[in-house]
Homo-oligomer: A and B are copies of this chain.
């Protein structure tokens, strides 16, 4: 492996490192949360699912709707919803007033996992508050809000990571 090869030319990295830092923070939180949720009996729950379910709770009641809310294709949304239904987090019934639609809803179990998930994230945040101090963490959050806006809070377009495309119908 020839370890210890010199970094050949410095190449300042603060911009890219900042991105890495943000990713690291996100991953630390999310990975921790997934581990904790698995331990609480939700082994098959994935971050994506949370976004989809929140979209449903926020008012999306069809797969296409969820797709629009999350800025992913309706097909992708339908796939996610299919696994959510298969795992009992979401129900899907034909819409009596529109035969094209399947009306989807978050089940009791779905609400449970969301609630637990939030508690878990709250715990993790509390742990960060310990190592950083409440003021500093609040400061960090405020800075991030200034940079990326409130957009994330009502999660328009997560699109996850570097997918670079926006869904378009045909």
Contacts and interface: CB of A to CB of B under 8 A. Distances in A.
A75 interface: no
Contact of A22 (B68, B136, B144): B144
Nearest to A120: B15
A114 interface: yes
Interface of A is mostly: helix
Q: Which one of A16, A25, A121, A137 has the greatest number of beta carbons of chain B within 10 Å? A: A16
A19 B29 contact: yes
Oligomer copy total: 2
B20 A114 contact: no
A4 B124 CA distance: 31
Interface residues of A, number: 77
A5 B59 contact: yes
A112 interface: no
A25 B58 contact: no
Interface of A: 1-5, 7-8, 11-31, 33-34, 46-47, 50, 57-62, 65, 68, 114-115, 117-118, 120-126, 128, 131-132, 136-137, 139-141, 143-149, 151-153, 155, 158-162, 164
Given A5-B58, A21-B141, A28-B148, 18 more contacts: A1-B59, A5-B57, A11-B114, A14-B125, A15-B122, A17-B152, A18-B125, A19-B30, A21-B152, A23-B26, A23-B158, A24-B144, A24-B151, A26-B161, A28-B147, A128-B147, A139-B143, A140-B144
